[in-house]
Amino acid sequence: MSPSSHYQSSAPTRAEIDALPGATLLQFGTDWCGHCQAARELVNEAVAAHPRVRHLQVEDGKGRPLGRSFGVKLWPTLIFLRDGKEVERLVRPGDSAAVKRALSGIDTDA
């Protein structure tokens, strides 16, 4: 899936996330967050090398049940899932190498 530059305000349910087949990068943040803006290019660069990985950018904040169900406290938080199960998590990644490594861990076809 192609990388996006906007967080979606409508989020899937936790049950929908848990039922997703294959590799998924679930990214929590907001469009106005400075840390999210700083990480945007490095995440998009890493995701571009893994077109089979589903990339969901979900707007997070107070009262958002999906982020709370994953225990998100800081943005951006990247949760790497394989068949709906969390494999790895990165909070405020500082370089694309960590994101690429985590994506390689869930993208078994790479």
**Residue 35's domain is classified under what CATH number?**
3.40.30.10
User: Residue 98 gets which letter from DSSP?
Assistant: H
pLDDT at position 2 is: 42
**Total domain count for the chain?**
1
* Spans in the chain with pLDDT lower than 50: 1-2
Centroid of chain to Cα 18:
14
Please report whether residue 32 resides in a domain: yes
Is the residue at 107 inside a domain? no
The pTM assigned to this predicted structure is 0.93
In a domain, 101, yes or no: no
- Pairing type for strands 23-29 and 77-82 reads antiparallel
Does a structural domain hold residue 34? yes
Give the dihedral sign, CA 12/40/35/86: positive
Does residue 100 form part of some domain? no
- The whole-number pLDDT of residue 1 equals 41
